[in-house]
Structure 1
């Protein structure tokens, strides 16, 4: 968490979450949390009003329809379209999670790659395909 002192917004520090109340307050439906300040400046006094902002690292993800997934020989793959030759090749990937009609890729693909999302079981290596204009 990033902690900012409301009376002096230029004074900041970091904090770790220590405790979350098991039940929310009845009327406000909020929960009390306890944070441990990491190396707090001397301006932070007991009872000071602060603003806490959760800071989280966000990793970009690739989500594809489940119809794009080819599970073969104990591995998970997708068909990639080569933009120069319009031919397809399989690419082994690591699936992070499956959620109903889609899955999230944890590794093996890069943003901008064209992935076949239909008819994946009827393709063969090097086969030429025609993708819709602009992709899907």
Structure 2
């Protein structure tokens, strides 16, 4: 199931050329992932407080296809590609209308209280597995 998140390009997102600064696409897809997890029903603050678990980006492979500009309305699509006990692979697309302007393959892992990678929490795996059906 594809999760969709809309965001607008603000002046602060652009560079001197008037296009979205490249690093801001990472912010857009981060916000979309946070909203995806929230929409699944997982409270990340509670998970951190109760189990000491947080999610971290392990790897990002990004492709910039076309520039976004001030005031563009963008849609970030998030799709689960692979779920293992220890990691999650997502595909994220940023679109302006029907045009793909940015793609990313993102690998997420869970970190425990000591900052080391651990298995993804069972509650998270259950919720994510249900979203993929």
Question: What TM-score, normalized by structure 2, do the two folds share?
Answer: 0.22
Question: What TM-score, normalized by structure 1, do the two folds share?
Answer: 0.22
Q: Which has the higher helix share?
A: 2
Structure number, greater radius of gyration: 1
